Amino acid sequence: MNYFDNASTTKIDSRVLEAMLPYFSEIYGNASSNHEFGKESKNAIELARIQVSELINSKESEIIFTSGATESINLALKGFVESNFEKGNHIITVKTEHKAVLSTCEYLETKGVEVTYLDVDNHGLISLEELNKAIRKDTILICVMFVNNETGVIQPINEIGVIAKENGITFLCDATQAVGKIKVDVLENNIDLLCFSGHKLNAPKGIGVLYKKRNIEITPLFHGGGQESGLRAGTYNTPLIVGLGKACEIVAKDFETNKNKINSISKYLIEEIKKINGVIIIGNEKFRVHNIIDVIVPGLNSDILISKSSNLVLSNGSACTSQIIEGSHVLKAMGLTDLDCSQSLRISIDKENTQIQITELVDAIKAEIINI
Ligand SMILES: Cc1ncc(COP(=O)(O)O)c(C=O)c1O
């Protein structure tokens, strides 16, 4: 199978699976128990916390394990607003954020929170000037994603972090498509709250992280057993946490090798796909990750290509919204039309993709083009 949907989810690394297995079978003690058996699980969780924190340059104590980016985003947004309502009632975010952010913001609006949704230009980038203009006395939070899941566009995170810091505003960053792909450093980037999911970096589904800088106050979504300093109650999911930790360790260790592999495959893909008449590659090359290539192919019905081919796995928008027929909110915010969206393809690669697969992919695309 030619799998080009790695931005949707990735295959579990065999070393991750191996690390997890004992915690499903032999080492099943509850990590919150005081006995030695429970402590074995607890120690494994604490090792994972170190592995995760080293990848993003945080302290271990600032890592909260959740079920995934969606939960982390909900916890960060709702939890921060609830804890900080006395300071203000205004959030700034962007029209091209993932639905996990946008739908949570819409929910918060029904509770009286005011939200500014920044526009993006035709490269998918926000304007720092517009961000500065949107800041009000009652702005408590700026929420901007690191890398867009549909286009791979990288926002100017360092500059946003500085603006947030200078204005005393908390900066929340959805880094689900960035962690493990490009350098993410919460200190250097001035990020106060950061979210991501394990399954985007060869860890299992159902595990994620909220990094919360020590001085930031949030209210929990769940109440119960007091795990994760009371911020995420519920019995620890030891195997999945262990898997995420291992994946972070591997990603850090293999970073340069994987980056070079992906860059060369991506370069080859771009060269090949550009040979198709009229192809547009979305986003400016300087502000894009190499593992996500979003293209518009004139004359292609991307839905047909995606649904008919059993050997080829691709996406034409984010998987979470692919049930919705109308064009992607991300591409439309960049000024593209419904027709452009219907001709768009997201090709997301990882270290296992090969040049032969790329050739097959480009041939399959060419075969579906209808010349009018
Ligand atoms: C940028 C971004 N944010 C959030 C999410 C939600 O992640 P999950 O479904 O793992 O909770 C995704 C998943 O596609 C994503 O790409």
Element (H, E) at 20: helix 14-20
- The pick from 176, 193, 207, 240 for probing ligand 1's pocket by mutation, whose C-beta has the most ligand atoms within 8 angstroms, reads 176
Q: Are 225 and 233 in contact (CB under 8 A)?
A: yes
Please tell me if the CB atom of residue 197 comes closer than 6 angstroms to any atom of ligand 1.
yes
User: In this predicted structure, what is the pLDDT of residue 321?
Assistant: 47
- Record the pTM: 0.96
Could you identify the atom of ligand 1 that is nearest to the CA of residue 70?
A: 11
CA separation for the pair 56, 106 (Å, rounded): 29
Q: Read off the pLDDT of residues 229-287 as tens digits, 9 standing for 90 and up.
A: 999 999 999 999 999 999 999 999 999 999 999 999 999 999 999 999 999 999 998 99
Using CA atoms, how far apart are residues 94 and 88, in angstroms rounded to an integer? 19
Rounded distance between C-alpha atoms, residue 96 and residue 99, angstroms: 9
Contact 346 CB / ligand 1 (< 6 Å): no
Q: Is the CB of 100 under 6 A from ligand 1?
A: yes
| Of 101, 122, 116, 119, residue with least CA distance to 337 | 122
SS (H, E, C) 205-231: CCCEEEEECCCCCCCCCCCCCCCHHHC
Element of type H or E holding 114: strand 114-118
- What integer pLDDT is reported at residue 320 of this predicted model? 44
Asked whether 327 lines ligand 1 (CB < 6 A), one says no
Residue pLDDT, tens place only, 113-136: 999 999 999 999 999 999 999 999
Rounded distance from Cα 331 to ligand 1 centre (Å): 17
Q: Among all residues, which ones are annotated catalytic?
A: 320
pLDDT at 201 over 60: yes
Measured CA to CA, the distance from residue 127 to residue 135 in angstroms comes to: 13
Residues 295-324 pLDDT 10s: 999 999 999 999 888 789 999 854 444 455
Bridge partners of 363?
none
Distance 308 CA to ligand 1 centre (A): 26
> Which spans in 85-121 are helix H?
99-110
Whole-number percent of the chain with pLDDT over 70: 97
Calpha distance 129→110 (Å, rounded)? 28
Kindly give the distance from the C-alpha atom of residue 176 to the centroid of ligand 1, in angstroms, as a whole number.
Answer: 6
| Average pLDDT of span 205-228 | 97
Among protein residues, the one with the nearest Cα to ligand 1's atom 12 is 176
pLDDT tens column, 332-372: 999 999 999 999 999 999 999 999 999 999 999 999 998 65
Closest by CA position to 141, among listed 220, 72, 80: 80
Per the DSSP assignment, residues forming a β-bridge with 64 are 210
What average pLDDT does this structure show over 64-82? 98
Q: Are strands 90-94 and 139-143 parallel, antiparallel or unpaired?
A: parallel
Tokens 């695309």 correspond to: 365
- pLDDT of residue 9 exceeding 70, the answer is yes
- Predicted local confidence at residue 308, as pLDDT: 84
3-state secondary structure of 254: coil
Radius of gyration of the chain (CA): 21
Question: Rounded to the nearest whole angstrom, what is the distance from the C-alpha of residue 318 to the centroid of ligand 1?
Answer: 9
pLDDT digits (tens, 9 = 90+) for 133-192: 999 999 999 999 999 999 999 999 999 999 999 999 999 999 999 999 999 999 999 999
CB of 304 within 6 A of ligand 1: the answer is: no
pLDDT score of 318:
41
Q: What per-residue confidence (pLDDT) applies to 310?
A: 79
